[in-house]
Structure 1
């Protein structure tokens, strides 16, 4: 029994130090600048958008709830407390992405190449959007970091990984993943 308690203690200790090392690793990578930061929008209950979805009408689409708003603020605090240099913050035109960017960073601009192509209504846009996103990144030569607040499908397509709501993924300009940071919703 004593051996089991020791093993459990070691596992808990290892997990705690891993989280601290992960945050420090992300900070060290981002302090060098020139990185791409992909953030999946914060928690917005549900999946996809209603059939009557209109990009200009937030009432017609999924939006952040209180948990998502708080998660967005934690994302912003992470960057603020770590004093991470940011060149630009770009967001999808979907309201849940704009809300995430607003609560996390206040200032941002929207880019249609970050929009979701999950639904059939927008699926035909995928290739064009990914091409435009890659061209934008190729032309970008900032010394700080570039943030993209976007959707699961965009991050999956560009980086070939699944992400949770509010997850931060750091990559270089060749789309090599350098670090990941999860943010909780509560």
Structure 2
């Protein structure tokens, strides 16, 4: 039994060190610029949006709670602490994304190609949004990093990766996932 505990402790310690090393390598990579950084909005309890969803009325949307706001602060602190150069922060027009971007980065703009197409009424926008996202990236000056604050479905469609709330997913300009960093709430 003691041997099993010892092996478990060694395994946990090694995997934490490997994760830290890979995060350090990823952060160094980000410091060089030229990457796409997708961030799934911070924690907003529930799933999808209410039936009476209104893009112009945050009270009719699923929004961040206090844990989501704290997670947004942690996202911003991650970028500041690691001195990651950012060219521009672009958010979905959904309130939970705008609030995440506002808390984490202060300055941002919105683009509808980052909007959710999770619900059936917006699913018809998926192909045109992905086309416009790729067109935008193709025209972007790649000296710093480009940050997208968006939704699970957009990241899944663009990178074939399913992120958690507040997760940072890094890709190259060909939309190939390079790595990810989870930010707890």
Using the size of structure 1 for normalisation, the TM-score is 0.97
Task: Name whichever of 64-73 and 22-31 sits farther off.
Answer: 22-31
Aligned equivalent of 2:134: 134
Aligned equivalent of 2:7: 7
Q: Residue 64 of structure 1: CA displacement? A: 0.2
| Inter-partner Cα distance in structure 2 for 1:53 and 1:134 | 27
Aligned equivalent of 2:99: 99
Aligned equivalent of 1:157: 157
1:1-186 mapped onto 2 (5 Å cutoff): 1-185=1-185
- Runs (4 or more) in structure 1 with deviation over 6 Å come to none
Task: Name whichever of 119-128 and 55-64 sits farther off.
Answer: 119-128
| Inter-partner Cα distance in structure 2 for 1:181 and 1:22 | 10
1:22–1:181 Cα contact (<8 Å) kept: no
| Inter-partner Cα distance in structure 1 for 2:26 and 2:75 | 13
- Gaps in structure 2 of 5+ consecutive residues: none
| Inter-partner Cα distance in structure 2 for 1:25 and 1:157 | 26
- Gaps in structure 1 of 5+ consecutive residues: none
Q: Residue 32 of structure 1: CA displacement? A: 1.1
| Inter-partner Cα distance in structure 2 for 1:150 and 1:52 | 21
> How many residues end up aligned between the 2 structures?
185
Using the size of structure 2 for normalisation, the TM-score is 0.97
Aligned to 2:180, the other structure's residue is in SS state strand
Q: Residue 20 of structure 1: CA displacement? A: 1.5
Task: Name whichever of 24-33 and 73-82 sits farther off.
Answer: 24-33
Q: Residue 26 of structure 1: CA displacement? A: 2.0
Task: Name whichever of 19-28 and 105-114 sits farther off.
Answer: 19-28
| Inter-partner Cα distance in structure 2 for 1:18 and 1:109 | 36
Q: Residue 22 of structure 1: CA displacement? A: 3.1
| Inter-partner Cα distance in structure 1 for 2:126 and 2:147 | 20
| Inter-partner Cα distance in structure 2 for 1:153 and 1:144 | 25
Aligned to 2:173, the other structure's residue is in SS state coil
